[in-house]
Amino acid sequence: MMGISRRAYARRRGVSEASIRKHIANGVLAPAVLPDDTIDPDHADRLLAETVTRGAAVPVELKTARARRLRASTALTHDNVAELRRSSITIADAAPMIIAESRRVAARLRRIPDAVADRIAGQEPEAVVPIIRDAVHAALSDLSEGPEPPPRPREELDLGRHTPAQLNAIRTDLQGEELEYRRALDHGQMVDVTELAADFEERLAVLKSIITSIPGVVSPMMVSYDVETARAVVAEEVERAVTALQCDYVTVGDLR
């Protein structure tokens, strides 16, 4: 019959091409490889599904122990891969998320100058400080109540109904997927979402330090300023805080 390429068979199985190559190398799929180096897909499906009958003379207790170890090993590999799926994101997907959250923060902070300008212009420092301080705290409070991303459901895998051959095939596929995730993380093609969140929190900490210092910085000047000048001075300080949001994913232009 006509064979199909390893890549095409991987797509048919919903696994990586690396997993198919590994199955061939370890002998599981080798009988399904045709002379032209393509794969007989039906034969390959049967090989992956059939029960391994080698070692029939092995005591039942030993075979049972081996099966338990195989299930445990497969379950552990599945848990590792499931965690990588939940916690890893491509750079292409990460950048828009970080930019959107940074814009949300910047947009809220930029409302502060309009909220305080007409109340602080021409006022003494002791009157200015609480007005700006309250506006800053209100902004930070609003930002702290941002929507939480929906939790990703945990992936369950029922291994009790699988034969040893099927478990070996599942584990090999999972090992290939785990290797691909770890390589992508090592090469900077993907990033751990917890690291992204930690980096963002560090930038927010710098921003909060700057934004909470604004009352003390601008209050001595306000007694001689009109509304427009007061607005401009506070806006300049807010922009200085907003620059703390810049990172590898977020530029000044992204924050405008």
What is the pLDDT averaged over residues 35-53?
76
User: Is the pTM for the entire model greater than 0.85?
Assistant: no
Distance CA 191, CA 89 (A): 6
> What does DSSP say about strands 190-192 and 88-90: parallel, antiparallel, or unpaired?
antiparallel
Cβ distance 245 to 203 under 8 Å? Answer: yes
80 or 28, which is more confident? 80
What local confidence, expressed as pLDDT, does residue 53 receive? 39
pLDDT at 36 over 70: yes
What local confidence, expressed as pLDDT, does residue 23 receive? 83
> What is the pLDDT confidence band of residue 156, given thresholds at 50, 70 and 90?
low
Q: Is 176 left (phi over 0), alpha (psi -120 to 50) or beta?
A: alpha
204 or 160, which is more confident? 204
Q: pLDDT (tens digit, 9 = 90+) per residue, 67-78?
A: 778 888 888 888
Provide the 8-state DSSP code for 210. H
